[in-house]
Chain A
Amino acid sequence: MSLAGASPAPASGAVHVSLRGVSRIYPGRAAQPALHALGPIDLDLAPGEFFAVVGPSGCGKSTLLDVMAGLATVSAGSITFEGRSVNGAVPDGVGVVFQEDASFPWLTVTDNVAFGLREIGTPEATVKEKVSYALNFMGLGDFTQAYPAQLSGGMRQRVCIARTLVLEPRLILLDEPFGALDQQTRLLMGDELLRLWRETGATVLLITHALDEATMLADRVGVMSARPGRFLELVKTGWPRERDSTIVADSRFGQLTSRIWTLLRAESLRAMGHSRIAR
């Protein structure tokens, strides 16, 4: 028993998710003017690719995740997932872990994780098996009957990750999933995520504010500009598929991280309104 789905890592050269000229503008309301939050964005994710997104706060990262998942409509451009157009409806095979706590407070940890499986009518024996595997995998084995209110923020986030993973999505979108974790746990969870990514062959898009995390985990790191968020550069890491957190000792790790930081520094200052220091 594992979380590995039936989907093998598909042939290279194919495109799993594709964005063309994607923008999102939040319409204005009453005294509020319309707000251009994102784009235009062009991006192709290869099947089984691990893609990380970094960018200054408020640049539109969560907005990018929303439109890619089909949770929000695009204002311009188009998105396809597995060849089919995505706009405002979540396609089958997409899993999302949100930036905010999305655990269901009225359900136990077990029932939270089982939620999606039951929703699609999975037989209860299978649900039990998958849920208990996922709970142990996420280090929640001792809290199966606890309610989210009795857990720490990081543990609640792990419940949400487990709830997404048991559904074996082919595209996993994660919005700062380790934001509430300490540095050690964060690195270990990164290792777990890598293992899971390899096992399932899923395409992963990870939004993070930790540059080292992005560099360590991803095949490519998309560095975003200040709002409206566009990709300044897509940095290839060139790591082998078999990798773990020990690559932080690799000499190229430092070079890559500092390259990303250089790109991001000016943008972050700009996002904070310090245009003069940025020069």
Chain B
Amino acid sequence: MTRVGLLRLAVIVGAVVALELLIRTGIVPRFTIIPPSEMATALVGVLASGKFKIDITVTLSNVAMAIASSMIVGVAAGTLLQGAPAVRRIFDPLFATYYAIPMYAFYPLLIVIFGLGDMPQICIGFLLAVMAVIINTINGLDRVPRVLLKAAQVHRMSVWRTARRIRLPYATPYIFTGFKLAVAYSFIGVIGAEFITSSRGIGYEIAYAYNNFDNPLMYSLILFILVIVISVNMSLHTWEKRLMARRRR
């Protein structure tokens, strides 16, 4: 491990130990937060019991659905918009203000449309994620050097083939940035929506434990989400680094 890596690890371990001590000495009251060691033990118990297997499956598959749909729609829409400057100009104000819209405000509407199933949660995740994909796809496609497009012309490639074989491969690192954001937004969207109205999912179970003053359960589930999100992000980061290694000059 590098020096920075070691220091980083030390900071994290130090913070966790400090939190543990603050709680055990009673400086931070137990009904506010339980010691990290107890969160971990509780989490092991929760996972071993298998009680939340369905909730975990539901949440993770809804997140996966939000990621997949926002990637497919986002890359397609970004490619089409980038290829049609006139249409793109019409949508320009939307790009700028999109993230000022509080998506959760549409939750009642989504329930009216889709009912109480998984769709409203997936929709919120999708709505949050898709614009990041669109914007990053357009950004990547905008950067394709003119000479590569000329090379495509020399190979007598159609517009569609040029998009598939030149433009999109060139834009891959930018689209990957969109993908990383889509993953984060999908987690935020889906789990956040589960808090509001839903009858299953990790977000729902956290809210339920909170309302029943079940601190060990609540904190173990929060820890679970943290572990999942951090490991997903770290693997994406490693993947991106490998992808970029061959492109960097």
Contact = CB atoms under 8 A, between A and B. Distances in A.
Chains A and B come from one and the same complex: yes
Interface of A: 66, 69-71, 90, 92, 94-96, 98, 100-102, 104-107, 115-116, 119, 147, 149-150
Most buried by A among B148, B154, B156: B154
B172 interface: yes
Interface in B212-249: 246-249
B26 interface: no
B169 interface: yes
Given A98-B147, A149-B248, A149-B249, A106 B154 contact: no
B248 A92 contact: no
B147 A115 contact: no
A70 B151 CA distance: 12
B196 to A, nearest CB: 42
B158 to A, nearest CB: 11
Contact of B147 (A94, A102, A119, A149): A102
Q: Specify the main secondary structure of chain B where it touches its partner.
A: helix
B155 A147 contact: no
Contacts of B172: 106
Interface string B156-179: 110001000110011010000000
A29 B247 CA distance: 34
Interface of B: 145, 147-148, 150-151, 153-157, 161, 165-166, 169-170, 172, 246-249
A119 B155 contact: yes
Nearest to B249: A149
A53 to B, nearest CB: 18
Contacts of B246: 105-106, 147, 149-150
17 contacts: A66-B150, A69-B154, A71-B150, A71-B153, A71-B154, A90-B154, A94-B154, A96-B150, A98-B147, A104-B151, A105-B170, A115-B155, A116-B155, A147-B246, A149-B246, A149-B247, A149-B248
Contacts of B161: 119
A96 B156 contact: no
A92 B156 contact: yes
B249 to A, nearest CB: 5
A100 B154 contact: no
A94 B156 CA distance: 10
B167 to A, nearest CB: 11
Nearest to B171: A106
B147 A106 contact: no
Given A149-B247, A149-B248, A102 B148 contact: yes
Nearest to A72: B150
Contacts of A115: 155
Given A98-B150, A100-B147, A149-B247, A90 B156 contact: yes
A71 B152 CA distance: 10
A119 B154 contact: no
A113 to B, nearest CB: 13
Nearest to A153: B249
Contact of A147 (B147, B166, B247): B247
A105 B150 CA distance: 15
A66 B154 CA distance: 10
B203 to A, nearest CB: 38
Contacts of B154: 69, 71, 90, 94-96
Contact of A119 (B153, B157, B247): B157
Given A94-B154, A102-B147, A119-B155, 11 more contacts: A92-B156, A95-B154, A96-B150, A96-B154, A100-B147, A104-B151, A106-B246, A107-B169, A119-B165, A147-B247, A149-B246
B170 A106 contact: yes
Most buried by A among B145, B151, B172: B151
A49 to B, nearest CB: 21
Contacts of A104: 148, 151, 166, 169-170
A70 B155 CA distance: 12
A98 B170 CA distance: 18
A119 B165 CA distance: 10
Contacts of A101: 147
Most buried by B among A70, A102, A147: A102
A90 B22 CA distance: 74
Most buried by A among B161, B166, B246: B246
Contacts of A102: 145, 147-148, 150-151
A149 B151 CA distance: 18
